[in-house]
Amino acid sequence: MILGLCGSPRAKTTAYVLKRALRMLNVEGYETVFWGVQGKKIGFCRHCDYCIKEKNCVIEDSLQDLYPLLERSEAILIASPVYNGSISGQLKAVLDRTRALFAKNPEALKNKPGVAIAVGGDRAGGQELALLQIHSFYLLSGAIPLSGGAFGANLGASLWSKDTMEGIKQDEYGMKTLSKTITRLLKYLEKME
């Protein structure tokens, strides 16, 4: 199963792009699951160390449903809108809270491929910084960050929505970065099999 984690609190452009990426994987025969922060109850990590002692998070909220999906996944796609030149606060809270997952299972994401998708309202609105933050999460968790490769998708899929659904659908260049990134993920998954 390939997990698509959407860091947007709105069901708009970022969710649209992530679902499109998951459909590309479905066409190739992969089972996918979409999990988004929209409408979810997500608390902030308190760094209370409860998870270190008890191997579970003290906060009982929607992330209890996400932890098993992360463990079961064979690959992960994380998509975020660009907020103030970085990932959304909701996604940051989710990534911080994976501390509880890694306290229970330090190898939960070890060697799993992960790709990053960033959607900005401006062409150069902080997508690269958001992609790097997602890659940092992969590196810290033992996952293997993949990009779409040189010449356009160096860090992953970078899209420009112009803050509208029409804008994201018209971003041909951004959609090429998505296609390149998913193609590279598919080649990596084929080598793993």
pLDDT in tens, 69-122: 999 999 999 999 999 999 999 999 999 999 999 999 999 999 999 999 999 999
Q: Which amino acid is at 105?
A: N
* 193 vs 190: CA distance, rounded Å: 5
Cα pseudo-dihedral 83, 170, 4, 27, rounded to 10? -170
Paired residues of 6 in beta bridges: 36, 79
Residue with tokens 């804008």: 167
E strand map for 7-135: 32-36, 75-81, 113-120
DSSP per position, 102-160: HHH-TTTTTT-EEEEEEEESSTTSSHHHHHHHHHHHHHHHT-EEE--BTTTBSSSEEEE
CB 80 within 8 A of CB 88: yes
Closest CA to 67 of 37, 108, 107, 22: 108
Per-residue model confidence as pLDDT tens for the chain (193 residues): 999 999 999 989 999 999 999 999 999 999 999 999 999 999 999 999 999 999 999 999 999 999 999 999 999 999 999 999 999 999 999 999 999 999 999 999 999 999 999 999 998 899 999 999 999 999 999 999 999 998 889 999 999 999 999 999 999 999 999 999 999 999 999 998 7
Task: For each of the domains in the chain, give its residue range(s) and CATH number, in order of start.
Answer: 2-192 (3.40.50.360)
Containing 6, the helix (H) or strand (E) segment is strand 2-6
